[in-house]
Amino acid sequence: MDFQLSEEQQMVLDTARDFARNELLPTAAATDKSGTFPKAAIAKLAELGFLGMAVPDRWGGAGLDVLSYAIAMEEISAGCASTGVIMSVNNSLVCDPILRYGDDAQRKKWLVPLAQGRRLGCFALSEPGSGSDAAGMRMTAIRDGDDYVINGTKNWITNGREADVCVLIAHSDPSERHKGISAFVVDALETPYGVGKVEDKLGIKGTSTTSLVFEDLRVPVANRLGAEGDGFKVAMSTLDGGRIGIAAQALGIARQAFEEALQYSRERVAFGKAIGDFGAIQEMLADMATEIDAARLLIWRAAAAKEAGESYSKLSAMAKLYASEMSARVCHKGLQIHGGYGYVKEYNAERHMRDARITEIYEGTSEIQRLVVARAVQIEIARGADRL
């Protein structure tokens, strides 16, 4: 077991940390307040090669490993959680499925500009009436000659307002449940769809979260990702990777909340000494530090398994489950350490708490992660695993 980063991974960490500290942290509160898309930050991420990190060079990406991606996600999210999730969606939910399920023509057309940051992607699975029960979706994509005709509404789409490439999951055969689902790339420049309501959210306010509306939209058969009927597997395996990114986002938010609480505990004096000298505060700081480290280990293990081509669905669910709930706990304590100052916008503590909360919900709620883990361990036991 080797926890030493390679030279390349260390370079990614240093680059991401420099950018986050110098350019994201100073503007994160303003981004939160104004709710504006962090356009300049995303352009810089493109320059750094952070929008297609694990995409091979020949397809416009940085050709890095999954651990480098997780490391960068932690750093960028520590600087600005909104920027973190925009980056995560483009990498994990858009570039990754086009790389793995797309043909060369699709990779050339969409993956190259997405990985280079010339275009931005979104991933459309959830609907107004189906979130956790993804296969319960109502959207249809019915084959008609050389096209599919798409009808329905998607919901909770991160990057929905800015994205111009959409990985869309819909029923090509509504008489079947998951076996009748197919995946598509919808190019908003060629076949524009409607962008509906832009949500007014608790946190990650620099991102757009929208509904997308499709009315008799004709999309060429050449835009289908993978075989007809394979869309549910495309979506589920895509989310396995996405969950590593969101876990790393949760970790970055928690680490930033911890560092700021630690700093505050050294400066704030009560009863004649720094509050960090009191056992009550030290206990909180110790628990925060321990949980942050535990989450990082889970994330790195899931990333290593994905990189090695091993099964990692359970590991990424565990990493996201633990990291997101840990992040909520850590941010809660971070605010508590700040006392009344934590509750007002003069400090970042309340923003971290608001930003962390969504990581327990999107890309699969904690309840869904527990379901994935529980099913996986039951299968492992049935197969005679001697150690879980």
- Enzyme catalytic residues: 363
Q: Are strands 224-225 and 181-187 parallel, antiparallel or unpaired?
A: antiparallel
Helix axes 39-48, 7-19, angle to 10 degrees: 160
Which member of 12, 125, 167, 251 binds ligand CAA (CB under 6 A)?
125
Buried b (16+ CB within 10 A) or exposed e, 106-143: bbebbbbbbbbbebbbbbbbbbeebbeebbebebbbee
- 156/264 with CB nearer ligand CAA: 156
Q: Minimal distance in Å, beta carbon 377 to ligand CAA?
A: 14
Distance CA 25, CA 29 (A): 8
With beta carbons less than 8 A apart as the criterion, state whether 341 and 235 touch.
no
Radius of gyration of the CA atoms of the chain, in A: 21
Question: If binding is defined by CB under 6 A, does position 336 make contact with ligand CAA?
Answer: no
Question: If binding is defined by CB under 6 A, does position 157 make contact with ligand CAA?
Answer: yes
Which member of 31, 68, 91, 126 binds ligand CAA (CB under 6 A)?
126
The span of 180-188, 247-255, 343-351, 363-371 binding ligand CAA (CB under 6 A) equals 363-371
- 168/335 with CB nearer ligand CAA: 168
- Report in angstroms the alpha-carbon separations of 368 from 133, 184, 305, 312: 9, 24, 21, 16
Instruction: Match 């962008």 to its residue by tokens.
Output: 195
Question: If binding is defined by CB under 6 A, does position 376 make contact with ligand CAA?
Answer: no
Both structure tokens of 335: 């605010």
Which member of 135, 188, 289, 376 binds ligand CAA (CB under 6 A)?
135
- 25/236 with CB nearer ligand CAA: 236
SS3 call for 38: coil
Residue type, 243: R
Helix axes 313-337, 349-357, angle to 10 degrees: 150
Site for ligand CAA in 182-211 (CB under 6 A): none
Question: If binding is defined by CB under 6 A, does position 161 make contact with ligand CAA?
Answer: no
The span of 121-129, 255-263, 292-300, 346-354 binding ligand CAA (CB under 6 A) equals 121-129
Both structure tokens of 75: 């750093």
Which member of 38, 180, 231, 364 binds ligand CAA (CB under 6 A)?
364
Instruction: Match 């689902």 to its residue by tokens.
Output: 181
Longest dimension (CA), the chain: 79
Which member of 239, 288, 330, 353 binds ligand CAA (CB under 6 A)?
239
Count of residues touching ligand CAA (by CB under 6 A): 24
- 262/377 with CB nearer ligand CAA: 377
Question: If binding is defined by CB under 6 A, does position 370 make contact with ligand CAA?
Answer: no
Distance CA 131, CA 364 (A): 8
The span of 31-39, 130-138, 139-147, 273-281 binding ligand CAA (CB under 6 A) equals 130-138
Which member of 82, 158, 256, 324 binds ligand CAA (CB under 6 A)?
158
Q: Minimal distance in Å, beta carbon 120 to ligand CAA?
A: 12
What phi and psi values does residue 216 have, to the nearest 5 degrees?
A: 50, 40
Q: Minimal distance in Å, beta carbon 165 to ligand CAA?
A: 13
Vertex 105 angle, CA 182 and 95, to 5°: 60
| Cβ-Cβ contacts under 8 Å for 9 (sequence gap 6 or more) | 65, 67, 68, 71
- 169/295 with CB nearer ligand CAA: 169
- 106/365 with CB nearer ligand CAA: 365
Among candidates 343, 363, 100, 116, which has minimal Cα distance to 246? 363
Q: Minimal distance in Å, beta carbon 90 to ligand CAA?
A: 11
Site for ligand CAA in 48-107 (CB under 6 A): 89
Question: If binding is defined by CB under 6 A, does position 232 make contact with ligand CAA?
Answer: yes
- 169/275 with CB nearer ligand CAA: 169
Entry field: residues in the chain: 388
Question: If binding is defined by CB under 6 A, does position 363 make contact with ligand CAA?
Answer: yes
Residues lying near ligand CAA in the complex (CB under 6 A) are found at 89, 123, 125-126, 132, 134-135, 156-158, 178, 232-233, 236-237, 239-240, 313, 362-364, 368, 371-372
